[in-house]
């Protein structure tokens, strides 16, 4: 299972989502079954590390995103990833516009995994430090929901494996 987190610039929300979810995943029984990456719909910051405020806020929660490098969503991502999770409606629409029609079902809002939260992860880029903390709070809640959802899927898959005896 491969999961791609997507925002606009791939320097604030989606690398933070990648880091937060990867940390949660690492402590779960799905660790060896799920791969995670992130990308942006725009190419403004390609090749750059995450925003220093995102790196600092994640680091305060024990998440190291300093070695990530921004990239733009590639056409091949739509085939290579099983789940493509957008930070906001604008990213979602852009992904759906670019994706082959048969890939639309794997594209959704990341916050759909935290149904009691807002639907969109607000862009913290033009705001202050608190915006990055708020984003991380949301990402932690959605990551819990995503992990639970993948775990349910994994147990169904396991139950459907052919019996070896």
Count the residues of the shown chain that bind ligand 4NP, applying the rule CB under 6 A: 10
Question: At its nearest, how many Å lie between ligand 4NP and the CB of residue 45?
Answer: 6
- Of 12, 13, 51, 77, catalytic: 13
Q: What is the DSSP string of 62-114?
A: T---TT----BPPTTHHHH-SEEEESSHHHHHHHHHHS-GGGGGGEEEGGGGS
Does position 44 interact with ligand 4NP (CB under 6 A)? The reply is yes
7 catalytically annotated? yes
User: Is 138 in contact with 57 (CB distance < 8 Å)?
Assistant: no
Cβ proximity to ligand 4NP, 44 vs 115, nearer residue = 44
User: Is 119 in contact with 141 (CB distance < 8 Å)?
Assistant: no
Q: Which of residues 10-29 bind ligand 4NP (CB under 6 A)?
A: 10-13
- In terms of Cα–Cα distance, which of 98, 124, 94 is closest to 109? 94
Q: In the set 20, 68, 123, 142, which binds ligand 4NP (CB under 6 A)?
A: 123
- In terms of Cα–Cα distance, which of 74, 106, 72, 109 is closest to 88? 109
Question: At its nearest, how many Å lie between ligand 4NP and the CB of residue 88?
Answer: 8
* Pairing relationship of beta strands 35-40 and 107-109 according to DSSP bridges: unpaired
Tell me how far apart the alpha carbons of residues 164 and 147 are, in angstroms, rounded to a whole number.
Answer: 28
123 catalytically annotated? yes
DSSP state of 129: H
Cβ proximity to ligand 4NP, 51 vs 150, nearer residue = 51
Q: In the set 3, 4, 7, 146, which binds ligand 4NP (CB under 6 A)?
A: 7
103 catalytically annotated? no
Ranked by CB distance to ligand 4NP, the top (closest) residue is 9
Q: Where do contacts with ligand 4NP occur on this chain (CB under 6 A)?
A: 7-13, 44, 123, 125
Catalytic residues: 7, 13, 123
């Amino acid at each position: 299972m491969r999961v791609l987190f997507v925002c606009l610039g791939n320097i604030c929300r989606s690398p933070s989502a990648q880091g937060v979810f990867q940390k949660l995943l690492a402590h779960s029984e799905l660790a060896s079954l799920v791969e995670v990456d992130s990308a942006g719909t725009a190419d403004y910051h390609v090749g750059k590390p995450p925003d220093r405020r995102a790196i600092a806020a994640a680091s305060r929660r024990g998440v190291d995103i300093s070695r990530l490098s921004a990239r733009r969503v590639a056409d091949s991502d739509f085939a290579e990833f099983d789940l493509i999770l957008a930070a906001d409606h604008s990213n979602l629409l852009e992904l759906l516009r670019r994706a082959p029609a048969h890939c639309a079902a794997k594209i959704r809002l990341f916050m759909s995994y935290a149904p009691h939260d807002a639907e969109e992860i607000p862009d913290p880029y033009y705001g202050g430090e608190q915006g990055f903390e708020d984003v991380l709070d949301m990402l932690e809640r959605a990551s819990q929901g995503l992990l639970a959802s993948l775990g349910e899927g994994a147990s169904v898959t396991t139950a459907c494996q052919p019996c070896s005896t």
